[in-house]
A and B are shown apart, each in its own frame.
Chain A
């Protein structure tokens, strides 16, 4: 690469210093003069009519309910999809006459401290008339199920149908395998919960909402719609944000309430989501159910795939992604990285009495990969081949790239089969197979699993326009400004909450302008200071905002060259930018001096100087609107304890291709972190509900996320196929790590259990489920032995 700290350099992060000294500023760290704290009264039941909210007289001035907001014209949150047949839900920020999930906010209490606000909340009584509950999506779609929204005809937000005729393949395919597969409802669990500080800025006459969000501009748009305020009257600021993973990519009812209170009352307010609120009342994701059949020939070549998929979307449609994004995505991406011709998929976004689901890292891909990769292994078993060989048989080969798949996804570049070959080599499959044959001295069972996926990232306009949700990404903009002393300010509308953009965007700018990293400042997360953006989601920030930063810096580079050439008395076409200096022949002038000239000595500028000066805002889109396609193969070796049902990960390899890496250290970090979350999905994480819709986990004692000893030292191997469509050939990488682990681990566990005839199909793959599978296998084996001897 051209620059030691430009694109491709493993440089340390600019954001580390403050965070390592405890001097970051998270929303909970912000205290404003006169600020009061909020605590919410939440629904204790999953489905009920509210007969009344009893507020002790002495606290009446400190407690607000929906009627108070509605009287002031506050509107419910509406996130409507434009897809035909979508049923809209209205989510009032505080329940309006009815509650639809446990934890739904009913009233808000205000006091000097959170403890005192909770004291008041404990005295507010919600008088409810309970209604029958939809706690399970498969029950909720049955005729006669109680309706979550009574005026609907059923409990389905949206049904989609993708693909076409498959009956002929179904009738003639030599191999047919069918599975029922389920993924659990999870919580996203960034270490920092949500939080918001809201106040009315009397000077600027703006509502200032400082909130732990991934998408300040979208929160502003949503607040504007709910509060009936012009967007110009609202400023949304994201300070340091302690992880998001999707949970901070929505407009939350609590944000609407805090915004209204700050305008309605004469003092700032703060709400901090505590861990119990996070686990019980919010942040849900991932609950899928599949009935899926794969058709193949005798070698395992896929001939067709058909599936019905249900997603439990919870009680309301979240803003901006809506209740149908997850299921609709299932329909379009279930075919994965494979090349086959016949496909039919029907999806249902089901409405239940559980918290709304929000897209979580990987969104539908983690569930889709879990289902599809189980099918590949099932086909392999049916045709008697190694699963990785069947993958090679079906993956889109490099010579077909770019490739339009059966659902018209446009794969941009890469060598998918090679990622499988490298992963199988790196995990040293032969060694594990030999060990399986020998058997373990401690009686544990060895298994190896492989999973492959490709991941659309940085989705373009067409994709989101097609879903018709409240947010469609267009051109991403960045502002670049050379400061009077020759430094650089970058302003972007995406938000960095662990992704290291303060460093990586500086690397991009450095690559173009040569200004040293230490003198490049990224400003992000503030609607008042940055261009509009849909924010940080969908592994899009480096592709889109990084591309915009490069574009803006190139525009400035041209202007710098022009001024520099003039000052050096050369011709602009002979000028070059080298190491932060304009050179013409042997003569050289640093950008610092050019900046000085523009700002402080304009009498020296050429008469035809660009009047835009050393500041510009540029928009950017990749050459193709289809997004980039990163891909990876994960391979894992496990030991399953058949007595306890426990799983130990013995080795874990990721072979990934995210195109050009701007900072390999940061890319690795994203993958390590993603895999850890994927391991959580695979083995530990589940938000259980009882039949009454009561959540059965409310602390980290019962909702387990993986720690140091549950996550192995993952080995990462890189391939680097640049995207033909993006700046520098980068592709999105933020989510990928979390996609394949459940599939790879499931395949590994089933590989281990195969001698016992047992199989697991649902995540998380807990000891209970593994033991149950072993038990079922031995029971049915005994039954068939009895059958045979009869």
Chain B
């Protein structure tokens, strides 16, 4: 017999308290309980990256992170990036460069791409590819996504100069 645990965490800036079964992974908690369905499940074993979200600002796989383990932490999903300036630039660039087709991998792509933009501001195309390699896409052949990230990095470089 297992017992639910009451957890309190911040989801997209708002405090949330909920009783969860310990076995519930973060993605299911977000999707089924918080109705934040932008976080997608593509493999549920930590490889495809579709469920990538931010925990305390750092990208993480929500399918292999337990919701109970996020007690006291801050979680940000794609829905929580509406007002984020880097994400806004990326959304614009993804659309311009056709970096999405079916859109299923896209939320995870954006979260990882945002991390690359912030953590690897000088990345070349090859480094972008290596840094993004934890996110799988079956539609785009990746070219549009690399171009989109390149576009944002270049714009930020120009703006900084």
Contact = CB atoms under 8 A, between A and B. Distances in A.
Touch between A and B in complex, CB under 8 Å?
yes
A16 B95 contact: yes
A713 interface: yes
A245 interface: yes
Interface residues of A, number: 57
Interface string B42-60: 1111011010000000000
Contact of B138 (A22, A245, A272): A245
B16 interface: no
A677 B138 contact: yes
Interface residues of chain B: helix, strand, loop or mixed (majority): loop
Contacts of A671: 141
A525 to B, nearest CB: 13
Interface stretch (A26-34, A471-479, A609-617): A26-34
A672 B47 contact: no
B16 to A, nearest CB: 17
Contact of B146 (A191, A676, A708): A708
Contact of B130 (A19, A25, A113, A709): A709
B67 interface: no
Contacts of A309: none
Interface string B120-150: 0000010011101111111111111110000
B127 to A, nearest CB: 10
B47 to A, nearest CB: 4
B79 A22 contact: yes
Interface string A643-686: 00000000000000000000001101101111111000000000
For A20, A23, A714, A737, the residue with the greatest tally of chain B CB atoms inside 10 Å of its CB is: A20
A13 B95 contact: yes
Contact of B144 (A243, A669, A705): A669
A487 interface: no
Contacts of A322: none
Contacts of A241: 102
B72 interface: no
Contacts of A12: 95-96
A230 interface: no
A20 B95 contact: yes
Interface string B17-47: 0000101100000011001111111111101
A712 to B, nearest CB: 9
A688 interface: no
A326 interface: no
B130 A708 contact: yes
Looking at A242, A243, A498, A500, which has the most chain B CB atoms within 10 Å of its CB? A242
Contacts of B74: none
A23 B36 CA distance: 9
Given A26-B104, A713-B143, A191 B47 contact: no
Nearest to B108: A191
B75 to A, nearest CB: 14
B104 A243 contact: yes
A22 B146 contact: no
Sorting the interface of chain B by its residue count into under 10, 10 to 19, 20 to 34 or 35 or more gives: 35 or more
B140 A21 contact: no
Interface in B90-106: 91, 94-96, 98, 100-106
A204 interface: no
A499 B110 CA distance: 20
A23 B139 contact: no
A700 interface: yes
Nearest to B130: A709
Contacts of A16: 91, 94-95, 100, 103
Interface in A186-223: 189-192
B103 A24 contact: yes
B32 to A, nearest CB: 7
A673 B38 contact: no
A241 B138 CA distance: 13
Nearest to A243: B102
Nearest to B43: A275
Nearest to A30: B37
A106 B48 CA distance: 29
A61 interface: no
B130 A192 contact: no
B154 interface: no
B43 A500 contact: no
B91 A242 contact: no
A20 B48 contact: no
B45 A699 contact: yes
A497 interface: yes
Contact of B37 (A29, A245, A499, A709): A29
A754 to B, nearest CB: 29
Contacts of B107: 22
The 6 closest A-B pairs by CB, nearest first: A22-B38, A19-B103, A242-B104, A672-B141, A498-B102, A498-B101
